[in-house]
Structure 1
Amino acid sequence: MSTLSIDESELIRASISACASSQHSQTPAIPLPAVLVCLTTLPWELQLEIASHLDVRNIILLRQTCHLYRDYFTVDAIDKLFTNQGRVDELRFCCYKCLTIPASRDLVLDKTRGPNQWRSLCFICWRIDHSPSIHDATREAYDIQFSNNRHGHVCLWCGWPTFFNYYHVRCGDIFDATDNFWWCMASLRCTMLAVVSGTIWFHYTGNYQVVIPAMLNFFTSFVVVFLVSLYYFRWGCTTPLRVPIEVMMTLAWIPAVVYAAQDLANNKENPDQYSYLVCTVFVARCFIYFLNLLCEAMLVLGYNPRDFAHPGISERRKLLYVFCSFMVYWGVARYRRFRLKKIKRGTV
């Protein structure tokens, strides 16, 4: 069988491109040369021989001309065609899932496929099928390679590929804003607890059932603020020491709550406002622990905080995921920075 000349091959490529572009435009279709008009009238073997001289971009354009070529030139058929001809390298800028060729030529290589296979994925297909969950903290899961031989990482905030650091610039700003907000709220909470504890301490002078818990909470509040500041400025992970202290502070407050509740029950007509204050502090601390427990439970149940950036979800579900992710990051913000350091070192 005679091969096509260079001029005939170029004519076929131009005709396919014109036909594909005319189907997606509002302008009248461009008159096609007779070689394409008669292409489908040729024997099927000859049509395949002609198609074997095309590159992957023109084969994708050929798929857009009619259902016959679209049904035949599937992912497996294109893969087999270029593999048999030893032209697998031409497929590295085309996604093997959706058969798109991004203009930037930036595709992610699928690690689950061999080096001699077609394994390029566009960002959307890779984000849907292969982006690691937050529960996978191995360094190998966050290191990725692109089809243009560049290396990158997976953004720790949104789960999309990034070329430089372990997060995008905008995601890094959100990281910092979340940590800053958490540190400000934690410091403000401890400072207010110290003020309230000092006020109750001086009001109930002589009542050791209230004074002793107030004294303990007053002094330990400054210790907690110091430990929070140590963590925030990355001088060390103080969470294993800080959490037991906060739990001890809450348990120590129980005798004062019992006394305040009895006082409110005995003086319903003229209740002491400080008794309300004692009970409010205890309820607020229990509510904060409940929120932290809820965040940890969401993680244990397998929720991935990066699901809000998943492509193709509805706006309502995205808003729900944003709220849930904020709650989770609020609960786990105390170890997120150190998690990043461990990933960079290659440990879990």
Structure 2
Amino acid sequence: MSAYNSAYELSIYSSSQDSHSHSRALQPPLHTKPAPPTIDLLSLPLELHYLIIGHLDLDLDSLLQLRRTSRFYHHVITLELVRQLFVRDGHASLSLTACCYECLSTPGLDRLVVDRTLDISSWRSVCFRCWSKRITVDYHINPWPVVEIANGKEGYICHFCNWPVVNNGRDDGVDRLHASCRSRRRLVLFVWVAMAFLQFGIGVLCAVLAWTRYKHKDGVLIPSSVRPLPPFFQS
């Protein structure tokens, strides 16, 4: 008769207890309610966003700051929406003077041009970047056309970068270019003159070599001179 092994019975009991506890852990707890779905502000329909923005008492600066918070509001707050909120009966709000009517940027009054082609009561401020994109040949045919800055000053179109430059009340040719553009223009002129002299020197050197070192080679000399015909061609 074999001896009773209590250690074997204890191991079986402990393994069965572990399996029961593991199966209970895998079962979902009773009387638990599912978590409610989270509602995100950006998941609302687009029409509700327009209604919310329309009922908010926001000024132009707050609205543009909201536009910079996310890509969603960047596409929701468009140029047409700003016109509907701040342009009433054809008269633009005074706050629109510091905002570009093409890209809705606010770089400052000293970096905005007044578009004189539009009505005086409408939204006429445009930033330097958007203004430089519309520069055509007509602006360069008429030397240094005068433009009006949003801060009340006048300026000219810089012929180097096509950005307006404020003339500070003076009308001299020196003040019609930016200081940095003036330095770059001098550098470009110096490089252009240096390249012209280099090209002329290379041409003179090629001609001298063709008439001295390579005078017996027709493939080099003929492009630069006219040689007499051979005797059998003269008869």
After superposition, the Cα gap between the structure-2 partners of 1:137 and 1:194, relative to the gap in structure 1 and judged at 3 Å, is: same
The equivalent residue for 1:57 is 61
**How many residues of Structure 1 are paired with residues of Structure 2 in the alignment?**
169
C-alpha displacement at 1:44, in angstroms?
7.6
Among 75, 81, 103, the residue aligned to 2:79: 75
The equivalent residue for 1:166 is 176
After superposition, the Cα gap between the structure-2 partners of 1:49 and 1:175, relative to the gap in structure 1 and judged at 3 Å, is: same
Q: Deviations over 1:68-122 (max 9, x none)?
A: 8666642123223222175522101011222121256521223442222212122
Among 145, 150, 160, the residue aligned to 2:148: 145
**Secondary structure, in 3 states, of the residue corresponding to 2:102?**
coil
Which structure 2 residues correspond to residues 223-242 of structure 1 after superposition, within 5 A?
none
Asked whether the 8 Å contact 1:109–1:147 carries over to 2, the reply is: yes
The equivalent residue for 2:125 is 120
Asked whether the 8 Å contact 1:93–1:105 carries over to 2, the reply is: no
The equivalent residue for 1:178 is 188
In 2, Cα distance between the equivalents of 1:84 and 1:152? 30
Which structure 2 residues correspond to residues 101-120 of structure 1 after superposition, within 5 A?
101-103=106-108, 106-120=111-125
TM-score, structure 2 as length reference:
0.51
Paired amino acid for 1:75: L
Paired amino acid for 2:178: H
Ranges in structure 2 where 5+ consecutive residues have no aligned partner:
1-40, 168-174, 226-235
Matching of residue 279 in structure 1 with residue 230 in structure 2: no
Among 93, 100, 104, the residue aligned to 1:95: 100
Say which is worse superposed, 153-162 or 174-183, in terms of deviation: 174-183
Paired amino acid for 2:183: D
Which structure 2 residues correspond to residues 128-139 of structure 1 after superposition, within 5 A?
128=133, 130-133=134-137, 136-139=140-143
Asked whether the 8 Å contact 1:132–1:159 carries over to 2, the reply is: no
Q: More relative contact order in 1 or in 2 (CA 8 Å, sep 6+)?
A: 1
In 1, Cα distance between the equivalents of 2:104 and 2:98? 10
After superposition, the Cα gap between the structure-2 partners of 1:113 and 1:46, relative to the gap in structure 1 and judged at 3 Å, is: same
Larger radius of gyration: 2
CA RMSD of aligned residues (A): 4.7
In 2, Cα distance between the equivalents of 1:110 and 1:91? 13
In 2, Cα distance between the equivalents of 1:160 and 1:152? 10
Greater helix content: 1
The equivalent residue for 2:230 is none
In 2, Cα distance between the equivalents of 1:74 and 1:193? 59
In 1, Cα distance between the equivalents of 2:187 and 2:200? 20
**Secondary structure, in 3 states, of the residue corresponding to 1:92?**
helix
The equivalent residue for 1:333 is none
Asked whether the 8 Å contact 1:157–1:175 carries over to 2, the reply is: yes
Paired amino acid for 1:48: G
Greater strand content: 2
After superposition, the Cα gap between the structure-2 partners of 1:88 and 1:176, relative to the gap in structure 1 and judged at 3 Å, is: same
The equivalent residue for 1:31 is none
Ranges in structure 1 where 5+ consecutive residues have no aligned partner:
1-36, 200-256, 281-348
